Amino acid sequence: MLISQILDDAETIRVVARNGGKTRIINGARSVYSLAMEAARTGTGLAALIERKGFGEAVDLDAAYKKGRLLSPINHPDPAHLHLTGTGLTHLGSAATRDSMHKKLNTDGAEQLTDSMKMFRMGLEGGKPAKGQMGVQPEWFYKGNGTMAVAPGAALMSPAFAQDAGEEPEIAGIYVIGDDGAPFRVGFTLSNEFSDHVTERVNYLFLAHSKLRNASFGPEILIGDLPSDIKGSSRILRDGKLLWEKPFLSGEANMSHTIANLEHHHFKYSAFRQPGDVHVHMFGTATLSFADGIRTEAGDVFEIEAGDFGLPLRNPLEIEKPVKVAVKAL
């Protein structure tokens, strides 16, 4: 089952679902967030709760997308309580690009093993522990709160000071935190973990800066298990023409970590188990246009798709105007 959120003609949020057939409004669902919290509070599976509520009229999801009426597939009434986070070096092959960005040499000119490659090897050796055991912790980063989330079809805004504006096609887990602090997974979705790879390449300690950018996810959330072998496509359009395209792989068959291990190492922190919060946690990628020498420009359109996840995720690129910040003493 795939679920998403749209705005109807009266500017009211409608939660819609499809399961191989028409897309229909879910009766009595005010938002995906309220639906997920109801499922958590009642101990009802999300799909079962949706079936119990029943369905109303059919909607044209493609038409809503074209009209700019698709919302992020989950949000929070207070954007400060939605957390955008992610993890990297989790996919087989993901170390190659990062390693080339962070090559180091000994004083005699011999190549050293980079920190990226060391972490990648840690994942290969300990990222898929036996059931019930704890695996090695992955790389982790923070992208911001809900104010940084961009709806499907809306523009990803790159700061004027950024040195690069590059896509990262990823699968993200969507979570809500129950009233008792227990995390619940709503499902999985496509995401564009938009980053500044040039800034990151200057110095690996700039990774945190490079990740504080917009992110987009959706348009639809896949309820249920994550397919083990996901095959998708990532592309960039310029002036309506294809500039770059490459397949990307995800799912545990193509990863050095299990989803359970990545989830454990995110939610082991009590700060991320605050009742009522929403988490969008991105699981990493091995495919970047930056690795192929692509430099994006304002007006370029990113498009990420994979068959299991419904409609493709599209976002144009815009560049913010320069801002000078001056702090005043109180």
Considering the domain architecture, whether residues 161 and 284 belong to the same structural domain is answered as: yes
Residue 325 in domain? no
Considering the domain architecture, whether residues 150 and 290 belong to the same structural domain is answered as: yes
* Burial profile 293-308: b = 16 or more Cβ within 10 angstroms, e = fewer: ebebeeebbbbbbbeb
Considering the domain architecture, whether residues 81 and 36 belong to the same structural domain is answered as: no
Angstrom distance (rounded) from CA 165 to CA 198: 9
Considering the domain architecture, whether residues 80 and 224 belong to the same structural domain is answered as: yes
Which of 36, 53, 71 finishes a domain?
71
Residue 327 in domain? no
Q: What is the pTM of this model?
A: 0.94
Residue 66 in domain? yes
Cα pseudo-dihedral 200, 304, 12, 74, rounded to 10 = -60
Residue 105 is predicted with a pLDDT of 47
Angle between helices 32-42 and 46-53 (to 10 degrees): 110
Residue 92 is predicted with a pLDDT of 85
Residue 101 is predicted with a pLDDT of 55
Tell me the HSE value of 235 on the side-chain side, using a 13 A CA sphere.
14
Considering the domain architecture, whether residues 248 and 140 belong to the same structural domain is answered as: yes
Residue 84 in domain? yes
List the chain residues with pLDDT less than 70.
95-112
Residue 120 is predicted with a pLDDT of 83
What domain range includes position 31? 1-71
Considering the domain architecture, whether residues 206 and 86 belong to the same structural domain is answered as: yes
Residue 329 in domain? no
Which of 11, 43, 71 finishes a domain?
71
Residue 330 in domain? no
Identify the CATH number of the domain in which residue 223 sits: 3.90.850.10
Angstrom distance (rounded) from CA 19 to CA 24: 10
Considering the domain architecture, whether residues 7 and 113 belong to the same structural domain is answered as: no
Residue 164 in domain? yes
Considering the domain architecture, whether residues 79 and 19 belong to the same structural domain is answered as: no
Considering the domain architecture, whether residues 189 and 165 belong to the same structural domain is answered as: yes
Output the DSSP codes for 25-62. Answer: EETT---HHHHHHHHHHHT--HHHHHHHH-EEEEE-HH
Q: What SS3 state is found at 155?
A: coil
**Cis before 79? omega within 30:** no
Structure tokens at 293: 């020498």
Considering the domain architecture, whether residues 252 and 137 belong to the same structural domain is answered as: yes
Q: Count of domains in the chain?
A: 2
Scanning the structure block, which residue is given the tokens 């799909």? 47
Residue 115 is predicted with a pLDDT of 81
Angstrom distance (rounded) from CA 163 to CA 90: 25
CB atoms within 10 A of CB 223: 19
Considering the domain architecture, whether residues 129 and 3 belong to the same structural domain is answered as: no
Residue 208 is predicted with a pLDDT of 96
Angstrom distance (rounded) from CA 100 to CA 88: 15
Tell me the HSE value of 14 on the side-chain side, using a 13 A CA sphere.
23
**Interval 173-192: pLDDT, tens:** 999 999 999 999 999 999 99
Considering the domain architecture, whether residues 80 and 217 belong to the same structural domain is answered as: yes
Residue 328 in domain? no
Q: Which amino acid is at 269?
A: Y
Which of 71, 99, 118 finishes a domain?
71
Angstrom distance (rounded) from CA 229 to CA 261: 17
Angstrom distance (rounded) from CA 83 to CA 266: 11
